[in-house]
Amino acid sequence: MNTIFAQASARGKAGVAVVRLSGPGSWGAVRALAGRVPEPRVASLCTLSEAGGRLDEALVLTFAEGASFTGEEAAELHLHGAVATVAAVLRALSGLPGLRPAEPGEFTRRALENGRLDLAQVEGLADLIEAETEAQRKQALRVLSGEVGRMVGRWRGDLIRAMALCEATIDFVDEDVPVDVWPEVRGLLSGVLADLERERAGVGAAERIRDGFVVAIVGRPNVGKSTLLNALAGREAAITSEVAGTTRDVIEVRMDLGGLPVTLLDTAGLRDSGDAVERIGVERAMERAEAADLRIFLVETGEEPGMVPRDGDLVVRGKADLGDVVGGPAVSGRTGEGLEALVAAVSERLAGRATAVGVVTRERHRVALGSAAEALQGALQNGAASVEMTAEFIRAALRSLDQLLGKVGVEDILDDLFASFCIGK
Ligand code: GDP
């Protein structure tokens, strides 16, 4: 049962639905349903039938082994997107010998196992499928295109050269060979180390693009936080009320702000309260606001923000429509006045932080880069003292880089990763 099949397009009715097959029986299955196997990579209109009964008129694509997404013999059936059509074709496929439905992410898993994608690319693909904003889409596509693999490939090349130099010294230590390879080894190692550090520093920003920036709206009760959040989100996402202190917990709204993913927090009003439940809300609000990437302090005329603003935070006067014109930025959740300027200010500040992004995007990457960097620091500190030791440090660094691409020691994370894929991917 080595040939798998699944609907690759989203479930539900649609114009077209795509069913994908991969494995040695894919073309045989196409022959069974379509009566022939079209030339690879040429879309052909075929009548699919089962036991003489017509299933659908479909566009059929075949891919030869070594020239498909999974690396295996594969095929795609582009069907009319009716739920009944897809169900009938899937039923017909499961009746064929050697075929079985795919597990979630199984196509991608085969692509990884056959070396068509490295692990970082698989993660990029997972992120691309999840992408909601422009920044997320671009970042995921960069990772999927194999940029991590190319970069690691360059580092590997330099480290392998450094190791070869060390080993040559070990082998010829008793002979009359010039042994002063250290300056070149040091040059190679410090070059790679600098790159590793730079990439590592960018992971934080890349993670923000993946998971979203957090922006907290902070201010006293009734200053208009919930109304502002609703206006920003363009929908009723938080409770607004005349009674002070109704937003007891932290309300979150995810939105796309100028292409960047942002989670907006409407925090409980900052004030001393006798009410125990509300006090907990205020404490939670303070914590979340402290941890946020950016705070928008909503204040009344002449009022100071209840927390000390940090670099990049915004202090804005609320209820601008009430008209007591005083200088400084003002906003009204009710009329929308000043909203555009506020959104521009927030996205400008966040975009500035997003530019530090490198190619690696996950905590797993940061850890692998970190241990590679540590090994190289060891090698550099060890210096020319013992070439055997230096070579060992370099080997450790290479192992960490292999881990980054999923070449070694990653079985445990694979199951997790593929479980996050949908069936048909
Ligand atoms: P929060 O406690 O800070 O979340 O404040 P709310 O958003 O619940 O608003 C408190 C009260 O102020 C409500 O009666 C709102 O209708 C009113 N309000 C909120 N924003 C504005 C605004 O921009 N202009 C005016 N005139 N009233 C507002």
Residue 171 neighbours by CB distance under 10 Å? 11
Tell me: pLDDT of 245 over 70.
no
Q: Which regions of the chain carry the CATH code 3.30.1360.120? A: 3-113
Categorize the per-residue pLDDT at 273 as very low, low, confident or very high, splitting at 50, 70 and 90: low
Minimum CA distance residue for ligand 1 atom 18: 224
Please, what CATH class does the domain formed by 3-113 belong to?
alpha beta
Among 269-273, 346-350, 380-384, which stretch is predicted with the lowest mean pLDDT?
269-273
Tell me: pLDDT of 38 over 80.
yes
Nearest to 199 by CA among 260, 152, 134: 152
User: Residue 111 is encoded by which pair of tokens?
Assistant: 């692509």
For the Cβ of 241 lying below 6 angstroms from any atom of ligand 1, the answer is yes
Q: Which residue has the higher pLDDT, 78 or 328?
A: 78
pLDDT of res. 400: 93
User: Residue 44 is encoded by which pair of tokens?
Assistant: 């052909």
pLDDT of res. 303: 79
Minimum CA distance residue for ligand 1 atom 22: 319
- The share of the chain scoring above pLDDT 70, in percent, equals 88
348, burial (CB in 10 Å: exposed 0-12, middle 13-18, buried 19+) = exposed
Residue 159 and residue 172: Cα distance in Å, rounded? Answer: 20
Categorize the per-residue pLDDT at 21 as very low, low, confident or very high, splitting at 50, 70 and 90: very high
pLDDT of res. 172: 61
pLDDT tens for each residue of 290-314: 889 999 999 887 777 777 888 889 9
Q: Which amino acid is at 85?
A: T
CATH code reported for the domain at 209-354: 3.40.50.300
Most informative mutation of 218, 220, 222, 270 for ligand 1 (most atoms within 8 A of CB): 222
Stretch 356-367: mean pLDDT: 80
pLDDT tens for each residue of 130-149: 888 888 888 899 889 998 99
CA 242 – ligand 1 centroid, Å: 8
Most informative mutation of 240, 248, 337 for ligand 1 (most atoms within 8 A of CB): 240
Terminal alpha carbon distance of the chain: 18
Q: Which residue has the higher pLDDT, 73 or 343?
A: 73
Q: Which region holds residue 200: left if phi is over 0, alpha if psi is between -120 and 50, else beta?
A: alpha
Residue 365 and residue 123: Cα distance in Å, rounded? Answer: 11
pLDDT of res. 412: 59
CATH homologous superfamily of 121-202+360-406: tRNA modification GTPase MnmE domain 2 (1.20.120.430)
Query: What mean pLDDT, rounded, does the chain reach?
Result: 85
Q: Which regions of the chain carry the CATH code 3.40.50.300? A: 209-354
| DSSP 8-state assignment for residue 44 | E
Among 9-18, 162-171, 292-301, 363-372, which stretch is predicted with the lowest mean pLDDT?
162-171
CA 223 – ligand 1 centroid, Å: 6
Query: 173 with 300: CB under 8 angstroms?
Result: no
Residue 281 and residue 299: Cα distance in Å, rounded? Answer: 19
